């Protein structure tokens, strides 16, 4: 099984399946293809039908789109807890994962994921403030219902979907909500997080558009 990803410093969509596979103990080969935004990322087209990362290749099967990859992994490894076991919790986890996949456009465009960035606040729009307020409510509701330390107790695909958001809220000093502080601590203590962050921080590439 091979996972194609972009730069670990910046590629928020790549981070999602990568951290899920690491935490759930799936053996995979990682292929990092650095961004070439100026050139239109032509190399991505060699393995990805959409021309984007992440892309998972399992034998003859190619799966693109981060959430589709996470769903495939849950089907492919039914013994691994990619989603919560309880049907109601699983429905909630899918709801929040989908909300992340299709939403929070203000936060995503104004505050790019950046593993090596120093913590520094920037001026943000009302759209970002609204996104942050919704995330604070969503995380605190999930953590209260599950007891934490992850959104549904133990780490699931819902946490994988929000991993880049943890980085954004921290690096742009966007929230001092107690639930955000506790969740950030739990996510950043994962060995998989530490491994990704160390590799991203050490990368030589700078993408000016992602340096807010
Ligand atoms: N909806 C896609 C988004 C994937 C995406 O936009 N990936 C970015 C990198 S984080 C990319 O490949 N950009 C290159 C391009 O658009 O040329 C997913 O969930 O996987």
pLDDT band at 72 (very low <50, low <70, confident <90, very high): very high
To test the pocket of ligand 1, the residue of 4, 13, 101 to mutate (highest count of ligand atoms within 8 Å of its CB) is 13
Ligand 1: centre distance to CA 65 (Å): 8
Ligand 1: centre distance to CA 195 (Å): 22
Q: Is 66 in the pocket of ligand 1 (CB under 6 A)?
A: yes
CATH superfamily of 2-80: Glutaredoxin (3.40.30.10)
Q: Is 7 in the pocket of ligand 1 (CB under 6 A)?
A: no
Structure tokens at 142: 């999930």
Q: Is 62 in the pocket of ligand 1 (CB under 6 A)?
A: no
| Whether 141 contacts 134, CB under 8 Å | no
Q: What is the pTM of this model?
A: 0.98
Q: pLDDT, tens digit, for every residue of 122-173?
A: 999 999 999 999 999 999 999 999 999 999 999 999 999 999 999 999 999 9
Pairing state between β 55-58 and 61-64: antiparallel
Q: Is 9 in the pocket of ligand 1 (CB under 6 A)?
A: no
- Multiple choice CATH, 87-194, 1.10.10.60, 1.20.1050.10, 3.40.50.300, 1.10.10.10: 1.20.1050.10
The pLDDT assigned to 123 comes to 98
To test the pocket of ligand 1, the residue of 33, 53, 200 to mutate (highest count of ligand atoms within 8 Å of its CB) is 53
Q: pLDDT, tens digit, for every residue of 80-135?
A: 999 999 999 999 999 999 999 999 999 999 999 999 999 999 999 999 999 999 99
- Of the CA atoms within 13 Å of residue 61, those in its CB half-sphere come to 9
Atom of ligand 1 lying closest to residue 64 CA: 20
Pairing state between β 29-32 and 61-64: unpaired
In sequence order, the 6+-apart residues with CB closer than 8 A to the CB of 25 are 80
Q: Cis bond leading into 149, ω under 30°? A: yes
Pairing state between β 55-58 and 29-32: unpaired
Structure tokens at 110: 């104004």
Atom of ligand 1 lying closest to residue 52 CA: 12
The mean pLDDT of 18-42, rounded to a whole number, is 97
The pLDDT assigned to 171 comes to 98
Distance CA 38, CA 104 (A): 25
Provide the residue ranges of all domains of the chain, joining segments of one domain with +.
2-80, 87-194
pLDDT band at 180 (very low <50, low <70, confident <90, very high): very high
Ligand 1: centre distance to CA 13 (Å): 6
The pLDDT assigned to 94 comes to 98
Backbone angles phi and psi of 57, in degrees to 5: -115, 120
What is the DSSP secondary-structure string of 114-167?
A: -TTPPP------HHHHHHHHHHHHHHHHHHHHH-SSBTTBS--HHHHHHHHHHH
């Amino acid at each position: 099984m091979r996972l194609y990803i972009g730069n670990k410093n910046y590629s928020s969509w790549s981070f999602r399946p990568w951290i899920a596979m690491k935490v759930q103990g799936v053996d995979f080969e990682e292929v990092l293809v650095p961004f070439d935004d100026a050139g239109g990322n032509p190399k991505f087209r060699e393995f990805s039908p959409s021309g984007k990362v992440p892309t998972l290749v399992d034998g003859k099967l190619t799966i693109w789109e981060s959430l589709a990859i996470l769903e495939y992994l849950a089907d492919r490894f039914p013994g691994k807890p990619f989603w919560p076991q309880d049907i109601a919790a699983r429905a909630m986890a899918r709801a929040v994962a989908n909300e992340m996949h299709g939403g929070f456009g203000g936060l995503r465009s104004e505050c790019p994921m950046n593993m090596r960035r120093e913590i520094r606040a920037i001026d943000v729009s009302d759209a970002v403030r609204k996104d942050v307020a919704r995330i604070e409510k969503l995380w605190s509701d999930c953590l209260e219902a599950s007891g934490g330390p992850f959104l549904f107790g133990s780490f699931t695909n819902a946490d994988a979907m929000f991993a880049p958001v943890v980085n954004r809220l921290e690096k742009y000093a966007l929230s001092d909500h107690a639930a955000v502080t506790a969740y950030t601590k739990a996510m950043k203590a994962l060995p998989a997080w530490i491994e990704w962050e160390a590799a991203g921080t050490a990368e030589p590439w700078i993408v000016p558009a992602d340096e807010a």
